[in-house]
Chains A and B, each alone.
Chain A
């Protein structure tokens, strides 16, 4: 990554639960919806699998934004995984605020297997927001 803002493209990691959001992103493909390429998807079985350390790792290695996306409340394939994820998310975001990390860099969303549109819009919006937030300096000091 260079210091030159004009060449900089936001790098975003998306942790997508296998049952809802990953399938929603699949459907976006099947529906040929176009969206920016900045989000790299890491498939996890459930949003509850995402260890807060993964998020820290992302931000400390220079990723500009992190997204956790899972099933809607009540729809988690494993019943309660997304509740756990949400709890962890809330705490982690608080911590980031405290540490002076722009909370925009860490987001959570609920995208079901049928919400291709929502997924495409989410990516577009997220990329824009992170673009505005600028490069993450954490990994480069």
Chain B
């Protein structure tokens, strides 16, 4: 056995704290190490060439690379080994950057630790076995969770490549948040005019299946073969019969606050969320339907000319298979009621940006009039407050929601267009308008639309003489400000959906302290997750505006398609294996396996001259977690790449 050790400087990232030359020299004292060297950037092509040459010239057969985390370049170096004709699994990475040079300052300490980490890797690589990737079939369909603009865009992109896509949307219609917007910044395109054609396209696309009013119930399996249970909530309307004529909702006597319009108007118990809904098929809200509650009414069933109403309908659970999953679940609004000083909930004329959006919309609840919800009078003096919930570690989230500066500027502009006598005042902390034509847009709103921008926080809002008195500070002039406002609009931040963590757990993808889903790498793999086959798009990963959302949607689609176009899927061979001679057939491993990846098998025992039951791992199903190995009484089951012997010896050399 000839082990080669390659120590990377990583520019100065490693070399500044770790004496790489000393480490390389120390490697030569380790058993079976025949060669060691250092290089500025081992992952670069000259770096890899150096490894390849050494393999050839020195006849190396196992490699240890001391560099950054294996999550970054393990694949790169495996490929490099393969190209040199050595099995790619005869490699170990010693993480001397993230776990050493970046967390220690003292050169001597860091060098000593780097050598120890290297020692572990050398010990481990000694027992690596050459492995071959296994191959599995791929279910050539994609699941898109969420039917907002990001899910719609993903589905359209996938359908271009002629692969089937299923969108699961929990609301009665696709369209998501964007369907509620009036105009989009900075171009002032009407949101509906750019979104609704896409909604129709996706619905008519023969490769796309829509499951609206449906939720993900369970996800099992793995890349190439996800098994997903989908709950199709009872609509009480037969989608195959309904034509969306509207006879039912025109007659329905039960009226409740419309969620779509944030309570600014009412909807009926049988309803479509908005007029352009896709599919244009209503649902009956079981909490408020008089018939479903107390069997009184039944009007909709009487008036439906197509006999589409079915009060007996039950939730239905369907199970489908997918090769890849795109998560496009979007965001929700921050709950600003924690800001008591802004009087939300107390004063009807304190609203959120989304309320403003609905009012500005000509097909919205006020017919496009920007008014005071309390008395219906036209709003003239309007105060906008930014960063409500964002950039506030005490009460909200620490991050910047990225859109609020822009949508507030847009609102200030729309206000002037709708009510020419009006005046907008914007309280801000900083203006963040990074985006194409964004800064210019804000300038235009200030200069041409006369919006007054005040840098500072609002301390209190109270009612006096039918007006809202807004008190705050202008930190630039140092003056205390008091504005008599008709309307106050809170630019509330974006946060993860309430059930984001639950979905992440189902999909086995990580999420951060804010429940935003975590990408595989913040820079180089922004739409992938560490769970292969699961991709992220849109604001479920971090707040994003529409252009960024659409861009990530297309990116995620390409990643999913990259999987689907393969004939077979390569699977890591780092799986469990049973030594049949040692196995006593106790089946403890079968009970410990959450993946049903272990079976029993009869073998002929020559010594005992009879048949014996032993465990056997189904390679394609084994996920390589290693839980079985911890329960095996005979140490008969072991994990490739993390074997008992490897770990035991690592402990020994420490």
Interface residues, chain A, CB within 8 Å of chain B?
11, 13, 19-20, 22-23, 25-30, 32-35, 37, 40-46, 48-54, 57-58, 61, 63, 71, 74-81, 84, 88, 112-115, 120
Contacts and interface: CB of A to CB of B under 8 A. Distances in A.
B398 interface: no
B570 interface: no
Given A19-B510, A42-B651, A114-B513, A80 B594 contact: yes
B627 A43 contact: no
Contacts, number: 142
A78 B651 contact: no
A140 B109 CA distance: 25
27 contacts: A22-B71, A23-B71, A26-B98, A29-B69, A29-B97, A30-B98, A30-B102, A34-B104, A35-B103, A40-B120, A41-B95, A41-B117, A42-B651, A44-B647, A45-B642, A48-B627, A48-B630, A49-B629, A49-B639, A54-B648, A61-B652, A77-B625, A81-B625, A84-B592, A112-B512, A113-B530, A120-B103
A122 B310 CA distance: 58
Interface string B592-616: 1011000000000000000000000
Given A25-B99, A40-B654, A75-B505, A112 B113 contact: no
A81 B627 contact: yes
B574 interface: yes
B627 A78 contact: yes
B650 interface: yes
A46 B512 contact: no
Interface string B637-651: 001001010011011
A41 B624 CA distance: 19
A25 to B, nearest CB: 6
A51 B103 contact: no
A78 B623 contact: yes
Interface in B528-546: 530-531
A123 B113 CA distance: 15
A79 B511 CA distance: 15
A23 B68 CA distance: 12
A78 B593 CA distance: 10
B416 interface: no
Contacts of A78: 508, 594-595, 623, 625, 627
Nearest to A115: B513
A54 B639 CA distance: 14
Nearest to B92: A43
Contact of B530 (A19, A35, A50): A19
Interface of B: 69-71, 95, 97-100, 102-105, 109-110, 112-113, 116-117, 120, 501, 504-505, 508, 510-513, 518, 530-531, 574, 592, 594-595, 623-627, 629-631, 639, 642, 644, 647-648, 650-652, 654
Contact of A79 (B100, B594, B629): B594
B238 to A, nearest CB: 38
A43 B652 CA distance: 15
Contacts of B501: 74
A32 B110 CA distance: 14
Query: Across chains A and B, which 10 residue pairs bring their CB atoms closest together, nearest first?
Result: A29-B98, A49-B626, A48-B627, A78-B625, A29-B102, A114-B512, A26-B98, A46-B625, A51-B630, A37-B113
A130 to B, nearest CB: 14
B625 A28 contact: no
Contact of B644 (A11, A34, A41, A51): A51
Given A45-B574, A75-B511, 8 more contacts: A32-B103, A43-B642, A48-B626, A75-B510, A78-B594, A78-B595, A84-B631, A115-B513
B508 A50 contact: no
Contacts of B102: 29-30, 32
Contacts of A76: 508
Given A37-B112, A49-B630, A58 B651 contact: yes
A113 to B, nearest CB: 5
Contacts of B513: 114-115
A127 to B, nearest CB: 13
Contacts of B654: 11, 13, 40, 61, 63
Contacts of B505: 74-75
Nearest to A113: B510
B530 to A, nearest CB: 6
A46 B626 contact: yes
B651 A54 contact: yes
A9 to B, nearest CB: 10
Contacts of A35: 103
A45 B624 contact: yes
Contacts of B626: 44-46, 48-49, 81
A68 B430 CA distance: 44
A137 B109 CA distance: 25
A108 to B, nearest CB: 14
Contacts of B651: 13, 42, 54, 57-58, 61, 63
Given A26-B71, A74-B505, A112-B510, A49 B642 contact: yes
B577 to A, nearest CB: 14
A61 B647 CA distance: 13
A81 B88 CA distance: 27
| From B504, B512, B652, B654, residue with most partner A Cβ within 10 Å | B654
B530 A88 contact: no
A114 B511 CA distance: 8
A46 B510 contact: no
Nearest to B639: A49
B625 A54 contact: no
